[in-house]
Amino acid sequence: MKRFEGKIAIVTGAASGIGAAIARRLAGEGAAVAVSDVHADPAAALVAELRKGNHRAIAVETDVSREDAVRDLVDRTVAELGPLDIMVNNAGIGEEPTPIDERTAEAWHRVIRVNLDGVFYGVKHAARVMKARGGGGVIVNMASILGVVGFNGAPAYTAAKHGILGLTKAVALELAPAGIRVVAVDPAFIRTPLISGSLAEAVLPLHPIGRLGEPDEVAGLVAYLASAEAAFVTGASYLIDGGYTAQ
Protein backbone atom coordinates (compact mmCIF):
# COMPACT_ATOMS: atom_id res chain seq x y z
CA MET A 1 0.00 0.00 0.00
CA LYS A 2 1.08 3.58 -0.67
CA ARG A 3 -1.35 5.40 1.62
CA PHE A 4 1.06 8.29 2.08
CA GLU A 5 2.24 8.89 -1.47
CA GLY A 6 3.09 12.59 -1.78
CA LYS A 7 2.70 13.19 1.98
CA ILE A 8 5.28 14.83 4.23
CA ALA A 9 5.85 13.54 7.76
CA ILE A 10 7.96 14.34 10.80
CA VAL A 11 8.77 11.69 13.41
CA THR A 12 10.53 12.80 16.58
CA GLY A 13 12.63 10.37 18.56
CA ALA A 14 13.02 8.50 15.29
CA ALA A 15 16.59 7.23 15.50
CA SER A 16 15.67 3.94 17.19
CA GLY A 17 12.90 1.83 18.66
CA ILE A 18 9.30 2.80 18.04
CA GLY A 19 10.23 6.04 16.27
CA ALA A 20 12.47 4.29 13.76
CA ALA A 21 9.75 1.73 13.06
CA ILE A 22 7.24 4.53 12.43
CA ALA A 23 9.63 6.37 10.12
CA ARG A 24 10.27 3.19 8.13
CA ARG A 25 6.54 2.41 7.91
CA LEU A 26 5.55 5.88 6.72
CA ALA A 27 8.40 5.98 4.21
CA GLY A 28 7.53 2.50 3.00
CA GLU A 29 4.01 3.68 2.29
CA GLY A 30 5.21 6.64 0.26
CA ALA A 31 5.79 9.52 2.69
CA ALA A 32 8.82 11.79 2.67
CA VAL A 33 10.07 11.70 6.26
CA ALA A 34 12.02 14.03 8.51
CA VAL A 35 13.85 11.76 10.93
CA SER A 36 14.24 13.85 14.08
CA ASP A 37 16.27 12.84 17.11
CA VAL A 38 18.58 14.30 19.73
CA HIS A 39 21.15 11.73 18.59
CA ALA A 40 22.42 12.91 15.22
CA ASP A 41 24.47 9.92 14.06
CA PRO A 42 21.80 7.20 14.33
CA ALA A 43 19.26 9.56 12.77
CA ALA A 44 21.61 10.09 9.82
CA ALA A 45 22.14 6.32 9.56
CA LEU A 46 18.40 5.72 9.32
CA VAL A 47 18.07 8.39 6.65
CA ALA A 48 20.86 6.72 4.67
CA GLU A 49 18.95 3.44 4.93
CA LEU A 50 15.72 5.05 3.75
CA ARG A 51 17.42 6.76 0.85
CA LYS A 52 18.89 3.44 -0.28
CA GLY A 53 15.28 2.31 -0.61
CA ASN A 54 14.58 5.34 -2.81
CA HIS A 55 12.64 7.13 -0.09
CA ARG A 56 12.89 10.88 0.47
CA ALA A 57 14.19 11.61 3.95
CA ILE A 58 16.21 14.12 5.92
CA ALA A 59 17.81 13.90 9.35
CA VAL A 60 17.31 16.76 11.78
CA GLU A 61 19.05 16.83 15.15
CA THR A 62 16.42 18.08 17.59
CA ASP A 63 16.14 18.49 21.34
CA VAL A 64 12.36 18.54 21.75
CA SER A 65 12.64 20.10 25.20
CA ARG A 66 13.54 23.38 23.45
CA GLU A 67 10.78 25.16 21.58
CA ASP A 68 13.17 26.89 19.21
CA ALA A 69 14.57 23.52 18.16
CA VAL A 70 11.10 22.12 17.43
CA ARG A 71 10.13 25.27 15.54
CA ASP A 72 13.28 24.96 13.44
CA LEU A 73 12.60 21.25 12.82
CA VAL A 74 9.16 22.01 11.45
CA ASP A 75 10.31 24.96 9.36
CA ARG A 76 13.25 23.05 7.90
CA THR A 77 11.00 20.11 7.00
CA VAL A 78 8.59 22.38 5.16
CA ALA A 79 11.46 24.14 3.37
CA GLU A 80 13.25 20.95 2.30
CA LEU A 81 10.44 18.41 1.84
CA GLY A 82 7.21 20.36 1.44
CA PRO A 83 3.98 21.18 3.34
CA LEU A 84 3.60 19.11 6.49
CA ASP A 85 0.86 16.46 6.52
CA ILE A 86 1.76 14.20 9.46
CA MET A 87 3.43 15.07 12.75
CA VAL A 88 4.34 12.18 15.06
CA ASN A 89 5.40 13.43 18.49
CA ASN A 90 7.20 10.30 19.65
CA ALA A 91 10.34 11.51 21.47
CA GLY A 92 10.48 10.66 25.14
CA ILE A 93 12.74 9.59 28.01
CA GLY A 94 12.35 7.41 31.08
CA GLU A 95 13.31 8.07 34.68
CA GLU A 96 15.10 6.40 37.56
CA PRO A 97 12.86 4.89 40.28
CA THR A 98 13.91 7.34 42.99
CA PRO A 99 11.64 7.60 46.07
CA ILE A 100 9.32 10.60 45.68
CA ASP A 101 10.60 12.23 48.88
CA GLU A 102 14.15 12.05 47.52
CA ARG A 103 13.41 13.06 43.93
CA THR A 104 14.94 16.36 42.85
CA ALA A 105 12.94 19.04 41.12
CA GLU A 106 15.39 18.94 38.21
CA ALA A 107 14.86 15.19 37.72
CA TRP A 108 11.10 15.82 37.66
CA HIS A 109 11.30 18.75 35.26
CA ARG A 110 13.70 16.96 32.90
CA VAL A 111 11.10 14.28 32.18
CA ILE A 112 8.26 16.80 31.91
CA ARG A 113 10.26 19.02 29.56
CA VAL A 114 10.91 16.20 27.09
CA ASN A 115 7.79 14.05 27.45
CA LEU A 116 5.09 16.70 27.81
CA ASP A 117 6.50 20.11 26.88
CA GLY A 118 8.10 18.51 23.80
CA VAL A 119 4.73 17.21 22.65
CA PHE A 120 3.16 20.62 23.22
CA TYR A 121 5.85 22.25 21.06
CA GLY A 122 5.32 19.64 18.35
CA VAL A 123 1.57 20.16 18.35
CA LYS A 124 1.94 23.94 18.37
CA HIS A 125 4.32 24.21 15.45
CA ALA A 126 2.71 21.48 13.38
CA ALA A 127 -0.62 23.25 13.79
CA ARG A 128 1.01 26.55 12.85
CA VAL A 129 2.22 25.36 9.47
CA MET A 130 -0.81 23.17 8.78
CA LYS A 131 -3.16 26.09 9.36
CA ALA A 132 -0.96 28.42 7.32
CA ARG A 133 -1.23 26.20 4.26
CA GLY A 134 -5.04 26.09 4.53
CA GLY A 135 -5.67 23.33 7.05
CA GLY A 136 -5.72 19.58 7.02
CA GLY A 137 -3.21 17.19 8.52
CA VAL A 138 -2.77 14.69 11.32
CA ILE A 139 -0.91 14.96 14.62
CA VAL A 140 -0.15 11.71 16.44
CA ASN A 141 1.05 11.98 20.05
CA MET A 142 2.85 9.04 21.63
CA ALA A 143 1.41 8.51 25.09
CA SER A 144 1.56 5.23 26.99
CA ILE A 145 -0.42 2.82 29.13
CA LEU A 146 0.96 5.08 31.87
CA GLY A 147 -1.37 7.74 30.55
CA VAL A 148 -4.18 5.46 31.75
CA VAL A 149 -2.71 3.73 34.83
CA GLY A 150 0.11 4.44 37.26
CA PHE A 151 3.49 2.77 37.67
CA ASN A 152 5.48 2.58 40.89
CA GLY A 153 8.68 4.62 40.60
CA ALA A 154 7.71 6.64 37.53
CA PRO A 155 5.72 9.66 38.76
CA ALA A 156 7.00 12.20 36.25
CA TYR A 157 6.66 9.84 33.29
CA THR A 158 3.13 8.90 34.40
CA ALA A 159 2.14 12.53 34.91
CA ALA A 160 3.53 13.50 31.49
CA LYS A 161 1.71 10.70 29.68
CA HIS A 162 -1.57 11.52 31.44
CA GLY A 163 -0.99 15.10 30.35
CA ILE A 164 -0.54 14.06 26.72
CA LEU A 165 -4.00 12.49 26.71
CA GLY A 166 -5.58 15.68 28.03
CA LEU A 167 -3.60 17.82 25.59
CA THR A 168 -4.69 15.58 22.71
CA LYS A 169 -8.37 15.96 23.57
CA ALA A 170 -8.20 19.72 24.02
CA VAL A 171 -6.29 20.51 20.83
CA ALA A 172 -8.38 18.04 18.80
CA LEU A 173 -11.42 20.15 19.64
CA GLU A 174 -9.61 23.37 18.81
CA LEU A 175 -8.13 22.18 15.51
CA ALA A 176 -11.10 20.22 14.17
CA PRO A 177 -12.53 23.26 12.32
CA ALA A 178 -9.19 23.52 10.47
CA GLY A 179 -9.47 19.90 9.37
CA ILE A 180 -6.52 18.85 11.55
CA ARG A 181 -6.96 15.57 13.42
CA VAL A 182 -5.14 14.92 16.70
CA VAL A 183 -4.89 11.44 18.24
CA ALA A 184 -2.78 9.59 20.80
CA VAL A 185 -1.32 6.09 20.94
CA ASP A 186 -0.85 4.24 24.24
CA PRO A 187 1.67 1.39 24.01
CA ALA A 188 2.48 -1.01 26.81
CA PHE A 189 6.05 -2.26 27.15
CA ILE A 190 7.55 -2.59 23.68
CA ARG A 191 10.71 -4.52 22.84
CA THR A 192 13.18 -1.68 22.23
CA PRO A 193 16.72 -0.89 23.41
CA LEU A 194 15.14 0.77 26.47
CA ILE A 195 13.12 -2.33 27.35
CA SER A 196 15.54 -5.23 27.34
CA GLY A 197 17.38 -7.62 29.63
CA SER A 198 16.17 -7.85 33.22
CA LEU A 199 13.61 -5.07 32.73
CA ALA A 200 12.00 -6.93 29.84
CA GLU A 201 11.85 -10.10 31.95
CA ALA A 202 10.27 -8.20 34.84
CA VAL A 203 7.49 -6.55 32.85
CA LEU A 204 6.69 -9.40 30.44
CA PRO A 205 4.28 -11.15 32.89
CA LEU A 206 2.23 -7.94 33.11
CA HIS A 207 0.95 -8.54 29.57
CA PRO A 208 -1.82 -11.18 29.39
CA ILE A 209 -0.99 -11.85 25.75
CA GLY A 210 2.25 -13.39 27.01
CA ARG A 211 4.89 -11.25 25.29
CA LEU A 212 6.12 -7.71 24.85
CA GLY A 213 4.91 -5.62 21.95
CA GLU A 214 7.02 -5.03 18.87
CA PRO A 215 7.88 -1.59 17.40
CA ASP A 216 6.38 -2.57 14.04
CA GLU A 217 3.04 -3.23 15.73
CA VAL A 218 2.94 0.29 17.15
CA ALA A 219 4.01 1.66 13.76
CA GLY A 220 1.09 -0.14 12.15
CA LEU A 221 -1.39 1.56 14.47
CA VAL A 222 0.22 4.96 13.91
CA ALA A 223 0.05 4.45 10.13
CA TYR A 224 -3.65 3.62 10.30
CA LEU A 225 -4.43 6.66 12.46
CA ALA A 226 -2.43 8.94 10.15
CA SER A 227 -4.18 7.61 7.04
CA ALA A 228 -7.37 8.62 5.29
CA GLU A 229 -8.93 5.39 6.58
CA ALA A 230 -9.13 7.10 9.99
CA ALA A 231 -10.63 10.33 8.65
CA PHE A 232 -13.41 10.36 11.28
CA VAL A 233 -11.01 9.73 14.18
CA THR A 234 -9.85 12.62 16.36
CA GLY A 235 -9.50 13.48 20.03
CA ALA A 236 -9.13 9.85 21.08
CA SER A 237 -6.33 7.64 22.38
CA TYR A 238 -5.71 4.05 21.35
CA LEU A 239 -4.27 1.34 23.57
CA ILE A 240 -1.87 -1.19 22.11
CA ASP A 241 -1.02 -3.08 25.27
CA GLY A 242 -1.45 -6.85 25.00
CA GLY A 243 -4.26 -6.69 27.54
CA TYR A 244 -2.20 -4.83 30.17
CA THR A 245 -4.96 -2.39 31.15
CA ALA A 246 -7.79 -4.95 30.91
CA GLN A 247 -6.73 -6.49 34.23
Q: Which three-class secondary structure string do you get for the chain?
A: CCCCCCCEEEECCCCCHHHHHHHHHHHHCCCEEEEEECCHHHHHHHHHHHHHCCCCEEEEECCCCCHHHHHHHHHHHHHHCCCCCEEEECCCCCCCCCCHHHCCHHHHHHHHHHHHHHHHHHHHHHHHHHHHCCCCEEEEEECCHHHCCCCCCCHHHHHHHHHHHHHHHHHHHHHHHHCEEEEEEEECCECECCECHHHHHHHHHHCCCCCCECHHHHHHHHHHHHCHHHCCCCCCEEEECCCHHHC
Active site residue 121: no
Instruction: Report d(CA 186, CA 218) in Å as an integer.
Output: 9
Nearest-angstrom CA–CA distance, 26 and 77: 15
- Choose the catalytic residue: 121, 157, 238, 244: 157
Q: At what angle do helices 17-28 and 215-226 cross, to 10 degrees?
A: 50
Q: Are 143 and 113 in contact (CB under 8 A)?
A: no
Catalytic residue list: 157
